[in-house]
Amino acid sequence: MHLEELRTTRTQWYEAYVAGDTARLAALEDPAFFVVSEAGIEAGGGRLAGIASAVRAGRWFPAGSHALDAQLELHAIGDGIVSARGLGSITTPRGAHPPVLFTELWQRCAQGWRALHLHYHQQQRP
């Protein structure tokens, strides 16, 4: 199922997100990609434009930030379709962001793995 290739692509995707590299994000995401979070639904060019705007304004993650999976499970759910779920966080030189629970949907196509969907929310504290 090429799961190591998917792990590598996920790492590149998160590196692009933390860096605010919208061109790389667009290359790794399906054109219909969308995100669901406590903030609502984000999709398409508006989402990428918002990231680019935040980067230009200095309101994005500072240099030296990185994403980390504390837990990750990959499950094949169809031909070339994999669900990724787990617990992750973003650490910056200023400190760590609260951990989030996430579910992603990935599809293998001729160009490699493409993200179809991301759903995340903050982990509830006991």
The tens place of each residue's pLDDT in the chain, 126 residues long, gives: 588 999 999 999 999 999 999 999 999 999 999 999 999 999 988 999 999 999 999 999 999 999 999 999 999 999 899 999 999 999 999 999 999 999 999 999 998 999 999 999 998 766
Pairing of strands 100-109, 95-96: unpaired
Work out how many domains the chain is built from and give that number: 1
pLDDT digits (tens, 9 = 90+) for 33-42: 999 999 999 9
- Of 86, 74, 82, nearest to 108 by C-alpha is 82
Is-above-0.75 flag for pTM? yes
- Of 104, 29, 119, 114, nearest to 80 by C-alpha is 114
The residue written with tokens 């590196």 in the block is: 15
* Domain range enclosing 112: 3-122
Q: What CATH number should be reported for the domain holding residue 69? A: 3.10.450.50
pLDDT of residue 123: 84
pLDDT of residue 125: 67
